[in-house]
Amino acid sequence: MTDAGFVIAAYGVILGGIALYAALLARRLGSARDESGRTDDSDSPR
Amino acid sequence: MKTRILGFVALAAVIGAAVNGLFVVPADLNQGDAQRIMYVHVASAWLAYASFGVTALAGLAYLIRRDMRLDALALAGAEVGVMFTAFAIWGGMMWGRPVWGVYWQWEDPRLTTTALLLALYVGYLLLRRLTDDPARRAARAAVVGLIAAVDIPIVHFSVIWWRGLHQGPTIGDPSKILNPSAPLQFVLALLAMLAAFTLVWVYLLIRRYQLARVEWQLEEDARRGRVAAARQVAVPSGVEEPAG
């Protein structure tokens, strides 16, 4: 593999991984809020 | 809403820093294009330290104040930290193969202690699944998070304390802050990536904290439901439950 290949692999996995984690987190948070009946960003207990 | 705006700002910052690191800053004379991996590798490693630092401090504060919000913050730090540690290792491997000739070397103290750090915090996350009692889980996790944090300075100073394949700090060493062993353009690109990754880190930490709080609330609701159901079974219908 060339240097460019290693650079693409590094940036692809790291930036793609962060994006994937952020998307999964948003999905988990959305479904947890649906289940609990909360829709806002606040942290105050019900 | 503010968190969402932070997310968009972080996304724009990462795109800008990545374009700068990949296309604007010149390639290194000796390492070639592989040096560009340093921007994401080093930023990931620093944020891994920061994440586990948050976990340790929040855990310590939990043991003192017994506030479940602190446990949620500790959990958020650990999960985000595991992700950034894995990315730091991956980036290091992708840089190591073209520059060192190997992806990994177990004899290197920095690499081995970083692998240990990852294992410790994966263990921390697994430990949290062993009990359903939130207070017991939080206390156990806080102790483990504090013990595991001992590895953070060991990882950081391993390149100074022991000889290995990994080079010493480029700008992290206090004596090199005003005289870094890399060209200024490279240092600025690294700092730009670090700033962008820090925005992403704050965003992810807030989101994971919010998720932990909602999950804790759901757990509490389920526990109260179980207690209420048990009381209904224990107290015959038509008989009034004694006060208190």
Check residue B226 and give its pLDDT: 85
Q: Higher pLDDT residue, B188 or A46?
A: B188
Task: Compute the average pLDDT of residues B178-195.
Answer: 85
Which positions in chain A touch B97 (Cβ < 8 Å)?
Answer: 1, 6
Per-residue pLDDT band for B224 (boundaries 50, 70, 90) equals: confident
Indicate whether B123 pLDDT > 80: yes
The Cα–Cα gap between B106 and B59 comes to 31
The residue behind tokens 């520059």 is: B99
Indicate whether B228 pLDDT > 80: yes
Per-residue pLDDT band for B230 (boundaries 50, 70, 90) equals: confident
The Cα–Cα gap between B177 and B173 comes to 7
CA distances from B53 to A39, B58, B108 (A): 30, 8, 24
CB B138 within 8 A of CB B68: yes
Check residue B232 and give its pLDDT: 84
Q: Higher pLDDT residue, B168 or B238?
A: B168
Per-residue pLDDT band for B223 (boundaries 50, 70, 90) equals: confident
Per-residue pLDDT band for B39 (boundaries 50, 70, 90) equals: very high
Chain A closest-CA separation from residue B238 CA (Å): 31
CATH number of this structure's domain B2-166+181-211: 1.20.120
Q: Is the ipTM of this complex over 0.90?
A: no
Range scoring the smallest mean pLDDT among A2-6, B65-69, B175-179, B219-223 = B175-179
**DSSP summary character for residue B131:** -
* B2 has a chain A CB within 8 A of its CB: yes
User: Could you tell me which residues are beta bridge partners of residue B32?
Assistant: B28
The Cα angle at residue B40 between residues B110 and B46, in degrees rounded to 5: 50
Task: Compute the average pLDDT of residues B74-103.
Answer: 96
pTM, rounded to two decimals = 0.88
CB B210 within 8 A of CB A43: yes
Mutate to test the interface with A, among B8, B20, B217 (most CBs of A within 10 A): B217
Q: Higher pLDDT residue, B212 or B30?
A: B212
Chain A closest-CA separation from residue B239 CA (Å): 31
CB contact under 8 A, A14 and B40: yes
Check residue B234 and give its pLDDT: 80
Check residue A45 and give its pLDDT: 44
Averaged over successive runs of 10 residues, the pLDDT of chain A (46 residues) comes to: 92 97 96 80 48
* B26 has a chain A CB within 8 A of its CB: no
